[in-house]
Amino acid sequence: MKSFVATVPEKLVFGAGKIKELSTYVEGMGTKALIVTGKSTRPEKTKLLNTIKEQLAFVNIESFVFAKVEENPKTTTCDAGSEMAKEKGCDLIIGVGGGSPMDAAKFIAMLAVDGGKAVDYIPGGKFADKSDGEIFCLPFVLITTTSGTGSETTPFAVVTNPENNQKPGTGHDFWYADVAIVDPELSLSLPKNSTINTGLDVFFHSFEALVCNDDNPFADIFAIKAIELVVENLQKCLDNLSDLEARSAMALANSFAGTAIALSGTFAIHGLGHSIGGHYNATHGAILSSIGPEIARYSWSGNVAKFAKAAVLLGADASKDEKTLAEGCGDTMAKFLAQFDMNIGCASLGVKEEDIKDLVDDAFFAMGGAMAASPVPMTKADAIGIITRAL
């Protein structure tokens, strides 16, 4: 059995209505808070922000709102947020929304006290090799409104460098949230397309954590349960967007999948997916769906037992032998994705054959750790072939 080290340090507050208990968990954490959120001005979001402000005021925390985070947040947006935090004298950061504002909040919490620009801390940056002990970070709280990225339970953040469109994942132990609020009621207003895309991100997190080279028995517990919850509940959410029990199950799956990748990691699906996202600004769940089955077909022989397990979780006939199940995992995955009209090709996202080499080069540079964790070793030539077949 593999050796492993497991760290699950964040305080996770889970349950319907828990946002109304925010004051209980932030009291004493600071005196001025910067609320980091997305650009949307939907009525549901305005109501949520008002609730958060009221909860902060109840424990004498003044608050300011930075509502400029775009989908696939840019390094420059994080820089602007950190400048606002410094200008207002904030000593607490609160990320509210999906993965984009939560990831931006992590960068802002770091930049507000450690200085520099976001590009300085990503691969190739002048501070990229700094150890965690050399970097300072403000305390921060994450409040997730989608069941997707799992950022509330991971030490990772993903931002895009607009200078070269690279979209690396960066990780630090201090990026585990001090408090993570997972209130499934906040996801009830999520529209159907967003529910599908974020739900499939949950699936791919858990699938990759289960089968990648860095898999381990502790991470498996979270990954397997997350897959089960997605398979059982994603369609229920789509059948009735107001199904709180199904939304709660997906919210739990999201946090479990985040924990799984924090303990185990991802591999080439996210490695190549980040590169595609950086260049085409496509929706993350759609990107992963467009390349996932082809990467599974390439990788299954590197972890036969786990690919077979994943196939069964996705509905394959458990009476088949392990090798047959594993070899067919990519096809089983494609069938699962087709339930949500997401058995798609990369070309539908704008990927062109002449761009593939650059996408692969970026993936091996910015997401080298994920690429190296592939169950079957993957060269650049292999990756080019995979994306070409996935067009």
Task: Strands of the chain (E only): list them.
Answer: 11-14, 32-38, 62-69, 92-97, 140-144, 156-158, 169-171, 179-182
**Does the pLDDT value for residue 149 go beyond 90?**
no
**Does the pLDDT value for residue 6 go beyond 80?**
no
Q: Given this model, what pLDDT does residue 327 score?
A: 98
Mark which of 187, 203, 219 sits at the end of a domain: 187
Same domain (yes/no): 105, 246: no
Same domain (yes/no): 216, 99: no
Same domain (yes/no): 144, 268: no
Same domain (yes/no): 182, 200: no
Q: Is residue 202 part of a domain?
A: yes
pLDDT digits (tens, 9 = 90+) for 40-61: 767 778 899 999 999 999 999 9
> What is the Cα Rg of the chain in Å?
20
**Does the pLDDT value for residue 387 go beyond 80?**
yes
Q: Given this model, what pLDDT does residue 235 score?
A: 98
Mark which of 187, 217, 242 sits at the end of a domain: 187
Give the confidence band of 9 by pLDDT, cuts at 50, 70, 90: confident
Q: Is residue 21 part of a domain?
A: yes
Domain count of the chain? 2
Same domain (yes/no): 53, 132: yes
φ and ψ of 72, to 5 deg: 60, 75
**Does the pLDDT value for residue 1 go beyond 90?**
no
Q: Given this model, what pLDDT does residue 7 score?
A: 72
Spatial separation of the C-alpha atoms in residues 256 and 349, rounded to whole Å: 28
Same domain (yes/no): 149, 205: no
Give the confidence band of 166 by pLDDT, cuts at 50, 70, 90: confident
Q: What is the span of the domain harbouring residue 285?
A: 192-390
Same domain (yes/no): 182, 196: no
Query: Which residues on neighbouring strands pair with residue 93, listed in sequence order?
Result: 34, 140
Alpha carbon dihedral 166, 167, 168, 174, in 10-degree steps, equals 130
Same domain (yes/no): 149, 290: no
Among 121, 186, 178, 177, residue whose Cα is nearest residue 148: 186
Among 129, 284, 143, 306, residue whose Cα is nearest residue 209: 306
**Does the pLDDT value for residue 377 go beyond 90?**
yes
User: What angle is formed at CA 46 by the lines to CA 45 and CA 47, rounded to 5 degrees?
Assistant: 90
Mark which of 155, 187, 219 sits at the end of a domain: 187
Q: Is residue 2 part of a domain?
A: no
Q: Given this model, what pLDDT does residue 274 score?
A: 93
**Does the pLDDT value for residue 2 go beyond 80?**
no
Q: Is residue 4 part of a domain?
A: no
Separation of CA 96 from chain center: 14
Q: Given this model, what pLDDT does residue 218 score?
A: 94
Q: Is residue 70 part of a domain?
A: yes
Q: Given this model, what pLDDT does residue 97 score?
A: 93
Spatial separation of the C-alpha atoms in residues 186 and 190, rounded to whole Å: 8
Spatial separation of the C-alpha atoms in residues 317 and 382, rounded to whole Å: 30
Same domain (yes/no): 69, 24: yes
pLDDT digits (tens, 9 = 90+) for 209-232: 999 999 999 999 999 999 999 999
Q: Is residue 5 part of a domain?
A: no
Same domain (yes/no): 288, 371: yes
Look up residue 375 and give its two tokens. Answer: 């169950």
Q: Given this model, what pLDDT does residue 132 score?
A: 92
CATH number at residue 166: 3.40.50.1970
pLDDT digits (tens, 9 = 90+) for 55-89: 999 999 999 999 999 988 999 999 999 999 999 99
Same domain (yes/no): 336, 372: yes
Q: Given this model, what pLDDT does residue 282 score?
A: 87
Same domain (yes/no): 284, 160: no
CATH number at residue 242: 1.20.1090.10
Percent of the chain with pLDDT over 70: 99
Q: Is residue 281 part of a domain?
A: yes
pLDDT digits (tens, 9 = 90+) for 260-296: 999 999 999 999 999 999 888 888 999 999 999 999 9
Q: Given this model, what pLDDT does residue 71 score?
A: 86
Spatial separation of the C-alpha atoms in residues 211 and 308, rounded to whole Å: 10
Q: Is residue 149 part of a domain?
A: yes
- What's the mean pLDDT when you consider all of the chain? 95
| Minimum mean pLDDT range among 12-16, 37-41, 331-335 | 37-41
Query: Which residues on neighbouring strands pair with residue 161, listed in sequence order?
Result: 166
Spatial separation of the C-alpha atoms in residues 29 and 179, rounded to whole Å: 10
Q: Given this model, what pLDDT does residue 245 score?
A: 97
- Given CA atoms 323, 328, 330, 335 in this order, what sign does their dihedral have? negative
pLDDT digits (tens, 9 = 90+) for 171-188: 999 999 999 999 999 999
